[in-house]
Amino acid sequence: MQQLVFAIGTMIAGVLACAFYFFATNWLLDRVFPSKGLSGAKASRNLRTTNAIRPWLFMLPALVALAVYLVYPVFESVRLSLHDRTGQTFVGPGNFVWMLGDGEFRQSIFNNFLWLLVVPALSTFFGLVIAALTDRIWWGNIAKTLIFMPMAISFVGAAVIWKFVYDYRAEGSEQIGILNAIVTWFGGSPEAWITLPFWNNFFLMVILIWIQTGFAMVILSAALRGIPEETLEAAVIDGANGLQIFFKIMIPQIWGTIAVVWTTITILVLKVFDIVLAMTNGQWQTQVLANLMFDWMFRGGGDFGRGAAIAVVIMVLVIPIMIWNIRNATRETGGH
């Protein structure tokens, strides 16, 4: 309790300090370069100066935070990836050479590609199907809320939920995990799903799909509603049936949004960490890059060189999407 009071106290102090900074610097700027009550040339010169400085005063705290927490670390990580475990001795591409020969790393790359193939595709697919179906029924909004709900649940919480679904009891005793209960009900024998090499990856992916489908659904649903009524009416008049309208009219219209959803989930998949840590911690051949990186960060007192090298690999995989995003954003903001 006491620490909560301390936290809220710090928070108020922090917000007040920010407010004070903005107010004080702004006041100071107007004092040093006054434009009111001055004549002609001097006033306009001061006005120009303040207009040039003020944006930077507004942006300074944010830019400092971004520089310290995101920009500097990118360069520092690249530097560390070329050094040994302590970050002191330069080893050139040594860490990357080690990676190529490391079985666990190759396993992680393979698994990450599996995740990249399956999760964005299925999340987007389910999201699109649910968005299209729920638009046609009266309780669609309730259904959407329920499917959207897992979005609020932490990856760790979701891992516990699904570990319970996959729970395994020896054959013959009563199954309390619903998946094995269904399997035995149909006459199969129970399996310890998350220890089945290769297939267990898919059981972990189900969790992320379960969480991300709601996200895809919300965005695609809005996009579907944005399709002009006239287009659809014209298609109906021309005699198109429901499926034709969906595949030939709706999908092409929202193609851009599908791409946005797909890439957003792709980025998330590259960083997937909590689910693997909580479910298997990389055992039974489920290792992924982010968990491997975390592992090396602390393994044997911490190998910063190898950890940073794995982080750089994740970054390199993200870069194409980053460039695509930047190009899209620049085109949209255009002259504004």
Contacts (CB under 8 A) with other proteins, residues 144-203: 145-157, 159-165, 167, 174-178, 181
What tokens were used for 269? 């998949």
Q: Quote the least distance from Cβ 106 to other proteins, whole Å.
A: 18
From 200, 210, 224, 276, residue interacting with other proteins (rule: CB under 8 A) = 210
- Nearer Cβ to other proteins (145/197): 145
Asked whether the beta carbons of 216 and 123 are under 8 A apart, the reply is: yes
Q: Rule CB under 8 A: which of 86-105 touch other proteins?
A: 87
Three-class SS of residue 97?
helix
What tokens were used for 180? 């094995």
Q: Which residue, 97, 103, 156, is CA-closest to 285? A: 103
Amino acid at 158: A
Q: Is the Cα torsion angle 171, 174, 176, 179 positive or negative in sign?
A: positive
From 24, 28, 100, 329, residue interacting with other proteins (rule: CB under 8 A) = 329
From 69, 103, 170, 187, residue interacting with other proteins (rule: CB under 8 A) = 69
Q: Please tell me whether residue 55 binds other proteins under the rule CB under 8 A.
A: yes
Provide the CB-side half-sphere exposure for 199 (13 A, CA). 7
Q: Quote the least distance from Cβ 328 to other proteins, whole Å.
A: 8
Q: What is the largest CA-CA distance in the chain?
A: 95
d(CA 133, CA 140) in angstroms, rounded, equals: 8
d(CA 119, CA 150) in angstroms, rounded, equals: 15
Q: Is the Cα torsion angle 121, 125, 126, 128 positive or negative in sign?
A: positive
From 122, 204, 258, 261, residue interacting with other proteins (rule: CB under 8 A) = 261
d(CA 93, CA 84) in angstroms, rounded, equals: 10
Q: Rule CB under 8 A: which of 111-150 touch other proteins?
A: 126, 129-130, 133-134, 136-137, 140, 143, 145-150
Asked whether the beta carbons of 317 and 270 are under 8 A apart, the reply is: yes
Q: Quote the least distance from Cβ 117 to other proteins, whole Å.
A: 19
**Could you write out the DSSP letters of every residue in 237-274?**
HTT--HHHIIIIIIHHHTHHHHHHHHHHHHHHHHT--H
From 119, 219, 258, 276, residue interacting with other proteins (rule: CB under 8 A) = 219
* Residue given tokens 């290769």 in the structure block: 198
Q: Rule CB under 8 A: which of 223-242 touch other proteins?
A: 223, 232, 236, 242
Give 53: exposed, middle or buried? Use CB within 10 Å, 0-12, 13-18, 19+.
middle
Q: Quote the least distance from Cβ 32 to other proteins, whole Å.
A: 14
Q: Quote the least distance from Cβ 313 to other proteins, whole Å.
A: 9
Q: Rule CB under 8 A: which of 275-294 touch other proteins?
A: 277-278, 290, 293-294
- Nearer Cβ to other proteins (194/201): 194
Q: Quote the least distance from Cβ 290 to other proteins, whole Å.
A: 6
Part in contact with other proteins (CB under 8 A); list of ranges 37-45, 109-117, 188-196, 267-275? 267-275
- Nearer Cβ to other proteins (110/155): 155
Part in contact with other proteins (CB under 8 A); list of ranges 38-46, 76-84, 91-99, 115-123? 76-84
Total residues in contact with other proteins, by rule CB under 8 A = 122
Q: Quote the least distance from Cβ 92 to other proteins, whole Å.
A: 18
